[in-house]
Chains A and B, each alone.
Chain A
Amino acid sequence: MFKKLIVFILIGVIGYMLTVTFSNIPLGENRIGSLDNPETVSAFYLNKSPQDLKVANTITAIVVNFRGFDTLGEVTVLFLAATGLASILYRKEDEEEEENIKHFAHRLNLPSSSLVRTGAKILFPLLLLLGIYVFIHGHLTPGGGFQGGAIIATGFLLMLISYKGFQTNHKVMVWLESLAGLGFVGIGLYGLIAYGSFLQNTGWTGNLNDLISGGLIPLIYIFIGIKVATELTNVLDILLNIKPRKK
């Protein structure tokens, strides 16, 4: 009881300090400053992304180009999370297996209703298409590689939960995942070799608002989309079908 009281008091103090601090920050107000003579990074980004990069969606320009190295890091975080899950979540071959299966047998064998199955079947290709659309148009419309990838993974999740025994093709997944990651790093290396700076964009950027514009930015987002989609699908696959592994 006493311990709980202390915890509550501490949480109260932290909450109070945070409230005071954040209420003093004028969030939402325009503090960007002049676009032509930028002092803050936001002004610089808003100025440069349509002018120099010819990318209509400034957020994409920030995520993929200005702070592309961070994005590479975040993609790696996702990759490591999937790797870590795969390294921990498995079942030793004889361990508890039979007991578990007995316990959950009646649920495992229950098929989804035909409504769910038919719906999933119809939605699945549409979700794939939407995901691909979102990451291909990442530099023009809201969304991008992460969002598109997540949409595709949602499609796979739908299939995994409505069809028992739905399997993703592991070989294809591993290849796609690795090649997409290597593609991202490869574009970065191209910048390093050709222009002397890792992830630097090409000089040719096309016209603002064209599908093919922004130099290498759409290409990077396509790689990110593929990578995120395969990784999230892998994570779902690992979580839903914990696989046995030899001792």
Chain B
Amino acid sequence: MVITPVHYIIAPLIAAFAIPLLTKIHKDAARVVPGIVLFYNVIVSFVLMKHIREHGMISEVLAGWQAPWGINLVVTPFTGYLASMVSILGFIIWLYGFRFKRTLKGGEIKFYEILQMMMIAGSIGIIITGDIFNLFVFIEIVGISAFSLTAFYRSRDGAEAGFKYLLIGGFASAFLLLGIIIIYTQTGSLNMAQIAERMPDVPQQMKIIALIFFLVALGIEAEMFPLNGWAPDAYSQAPTPTSATFAAVVSVAGVYALIRVVYTMFDVEGVNNYLMIMGFVSMLIAEIAAISQKNLKRMLAYSSMGQIGLVLIAFGIGSKLAVFGALFLMLNHGVIKSLLFMTGSYFIYNTEDKKIKSLNGIYKKLPFVSFLFGLGALALIGFPPFSGFWSKFYILMSAADEKYIFLIIGILLVTVIELTYYLRVVGRIFFAKEEGEPASHKPSVNAIIAMSSLALFIIVIGVYPDLIMPHIQSAAEALLDKSNYIQQILSLN
């Protein structure tokens, strides 16, 4: 096998270290090189996915030391699915932002591109690593890039959002480290598989305390209530491609880490219920908060938190069907929310403020973008011919299987809330009376390609979900089959 999982990390690292030199040779290198690297990651994803379909999961050892001793990177159908999704979305987001940044004021493009690329690479690292301390390092990489990018525009609010995120992210890192220390003192290992194997021998009290640390730390990354106070500010103040990355890439990696810890490492009873309740509360509160938002990007941010809440609910239910629905929803959320952020930013560009009320009749100015936004909104709410329908459908089905009546009522209620605030925006865009001058910022070709490919995905998967379902099916199976994971990693090599 020529292409191995470590390529996911090496290629962006080489590019990140080389970009300061390459920009001296050609000033556009900083724009182009991340695209090449992210495209290479897409190729790596396809090769690895093909390989694991034919030969089973990959556990790559680093520095030549076997799995419990050294660091290993693991590509199972589950991590491979998420890593492929993240790298493809990362590439599309790069494509979208390729010319957008020409209008950047003040900040230098070189720094932006390095941070953005490393944020995506770090998220892939979180997903594919099989080592708990390595996970911490990648969370740091993602965090440091995310803080700087949030404050990148250096506006007053941006600096505030960045600082808030920095403080909360610092807490997350400290708590995560404490959790890792406790686990290490109890099991003498940092390898996730070996920790999972030795976990039954750990005293209950230690287990609970460590789990609390992990839940708090990773809950911050996964935007779980009540640890998501940073999210609306960060989403709304960051440059648009970064907001899309937060929704499509970083939150996915955060949820992954949370789920990996809860599902694979720990065997504590009742944590599933905790996930379900917290997911439910975050969904409800976020969606209710979204109604009252006047700023479009803030509204999308709250909607993101609501979706992540729904994902957590499904993981909390924990049946195979629910996990399937959750993984499907993670993909849909990534695709649809990036599309909404991308299109939404063109609206914001063409209005004086970021307010929803100044979107009146913008359909006349930006017909194509408005059309895509409407499509994204309908898909997110879960209208049938779009992909968003299927994920919500499967989650509702799994809740019905387990007879969680309140969950079903709650999810349907939230859908009505979503319907209200999305259709309010869509109504303004399409039917309200036009105001202001014609659009000054038309979408560039690459942005149109990026947005159309996302829209195409939404429609194609909506009409023909069998295209992606087998992958999600095997991903869900791989996640739930814990003993196989442990066995394969500890003896495969």
A247 CB–B CB distance under 8 Å:
yes
B26 CB–A CB distance under 8 Å:
no
Pick the contact of A178: B21, B148, B188, B206 (CB < 8 A).
Answer: B21
- Extra contacts, 15 of them, besides A80-B114, A174-B20, A181-B13 (Cβ < 8 A), are A24-B205, A25-B185, A41-B188, A41-B189, A76-B118, A77-B141, A80-B115, A90-B106, A178-B17, A182-B14, A182-B17, A195-B64, A197-B61, A197-B63, A197-B64
Instruction: Bin chain A's interface residue count.
Output: 35 or more
B54 CB–A CB distance under 8 Å:
no
What 0/1 readout, one digit per residue, does chain A (10-43) give for beta carbons within 8 Å of chain B? 0000000110110011010001010000011110
Judging by beta carbons under 8 Å apart, are B64 and A200 in contact? Answer: yes
Q: How far is the CB of A22 from chain B (nearest CB, A)?
A: 8
A81 to B140, CA, bound (A): 10
Known contacts A21-B206, A76-B13, A199-B62; is-contact A83 B105 (Cβ 8 Å): no
What 0/1 readout, one digit per residue, does chain B (116-131) give for beta carbons within 8 Å of chain A? 0010000001000000
Query: Closest 6 interchain pairs by CB?
Result: A84-B148, A40-B188, A181-B17, A87-B111, A73-B137, A200-B64
12 A-B pairs in the complex with CB atoms less than 8 angstroms apart: A18-B209, A25-B185, A66-B63, A66-B70, A80-B145, A84-B145, A88-B152, A88-B159, A174-B21, A185-B17, A197-B60, A245-B106
Judging by beta carbons under 8 Å apart, are A87 and B152 in contact? Answer: yes
Known contacts A21-B205, A87-B115; is-contact A76 B63 (Cβ 8 Å): no
Give the nearest-CB partner of A178 in chain B. B21
Interface residue ranges, A against B (CB under 8 Å): 17-18, 20-21, 24-25, 27, 31, 33, 39-42, 44-45, 48, 65-70, 72-74, 76-77, 79-81, 83-88, 90, 92, 174-175, 177-179, 181-182, 185, 188-189, 191-192, 195, 197-201, 245, 247
Q: Which residues of B contact A42 (CB under 8 A)?
A: 188
Give the nearest-CB partner of A199 in chain B. B63
Judging by beta carbons under 8 Å apart, are A185 and B14 in contact? Answer: yes
Q: How far is the CB of A34 from chain B (nearest CB, A)?
A: 12
Instruction: Bin chain B's interface residue count.
Output: 35 or more
Max chain B CB contacts within 10 Å: which of A20, A87, A247? A87
Known contacts A80-B144, A182-B14; is-contact A66 B65 (Cβ 8 Å): yes
Q: How far is the CB of B190 from chain A (nearest CB, A)?
A: 7
Q: Which residues of A contact B118 (CB under 8 A)?
A: 76, 80
B107 CB–A CB distance under 8 Å:
yes
A72 to B209, CA, bound (A): 30
Judging by beta carbons under 8 Å apart, are B106 and A77 in contact? Answer: no
Q: Which residues of B contact A174 (CB under 8 A)?
A: 20-21, 24
B10 CB–A CB distance under 8 Å:
yes
Judging by beta carbons under 8 Å apart, are B134 and A69 in contact? Answer: yes
* Chain B 137-188 interface residues, beta-carbon cutoff 8 Å to A: 137-138, 140-141, 144-145, 147-149, 151-152, 154, 159, 162, 178, 182, 185-186, 188
Give the nearest-CB partner of B105 in chain A. A247
B16 CB–A CB distance under 8 Å:
yes
Q: Which residues of B contact A197 (CB under 8 A)?
A: 60-64
A31 to B188, CA, bound (A): 9
- Looking at chain B's contact residues, the main secondary structure is helix
A27 to B185, CA, bound (A): 8
B18 CB–A CB distance under 8 Å:
yes
Q: How far is the CB of A100 from chain B (nearest CB, A)?
A: 16
Give the nearest-CB partner of B147 in chain A. A84
Q: How far is the CB of A24 from chain B (nearest CB, A)?
A: 7
Judging by beta carbons under 8 Å apart, are B112 and A87 in contact? Answer: yes
Q: Which residues of A contact B149 (CB under 8 A)?
A: 84
A195 to B190, CA, bound (A): 24
Give the nearest-CB partner of B143 in chain A. A77
A20 to B206, CA, bound (A): 10
Q: How far is the CB of A29 from chain B (nearest CB, A)?
A: 10
Q: Which residues of B contact A81 (CB under 8 A)?
A: 144
Judging by beta carbons under 8 Å apart, are A41 and B6 in contact? Answer: no
B437 CB–A CB distance under 8 Å:
no
A188 to B114, CA, bound (A): 21
Q: Which residues of A contact B189 (CB under 8 A)?
A: 40-41
A72 to B73, CA, bound (A): 15
Q: Which residues of A contact B279 (CB under 8 A)?
A: none
B383 CB–A CB distance under 8 Å:
no
Q: Which residues of B contact A87 (CB under 8 A)?
A: 107-108, 111-112, 115, 148, 152
Pick the contact of B148: A68, A70, A80, A195 (CB < 8 A).
Answer: A80
Q: Which residues of B contact A199 (CB under 8 A)?
A: 62-64
B69 CB–A CB distance under 8 Å:
yes
Q: How far is the CB of B46 from chain A (nearest CB, A)?
A: 20
A81 to B143, CA, bound (A): 10
Known contacts A39-B188, A70-B71, A182-B14; is-contact A198 B115 (Cβ 8 Å): no
A79 to B16, CA, bound (A): 9
B100 CB–A CB distance under 8 Å:
no
Max chain B CB contacts within 10 Å: which of A25, A72, A73, A74? A73
A92 to B118, CA, bound (A): 26
A121 to B140, CA, bound (A): 37
Q: Which residues of A contact B206 (CB under 8 A)?
A: 21, 24-25
Judging by beta carbons under 8 Å apart, are A65 and B154 in contact? Answer: no
Give the nearest-CB partner of B68 in chain A. A41
Q: How far is the CB of A149 from chain B (nearest CB, A)?
A: 16
Judging by beta carbons under 8 Å apart, are A65 and B63 in contact? Answer: yes
Q: How far is the CB of B433 from chain A (nearest CB, A)?
A: 37
Q: Which residues of A contact B14 (CB under 8 A)?
A: 182, 185
A200 to B63, CA, bound (A): 4
Judging by beta carbons under 8 Å apart, are A178 and B18 in contact? Answer: yes
Judging by beta carbons under 8 Å apart, are B10 and A189 in contact? Answer: yes
Q: How far is the CB of A31 from chain B (nearest CB, A)?
A: 7
A245 to B104, CA, bound (A): 13
Q: Which residues of B contact A245 (CB under 8 A)?
A: 106, 108
Known contacts A39-B188, A83-B148; is-contact A70 B17 (Cβ 8 Å): no
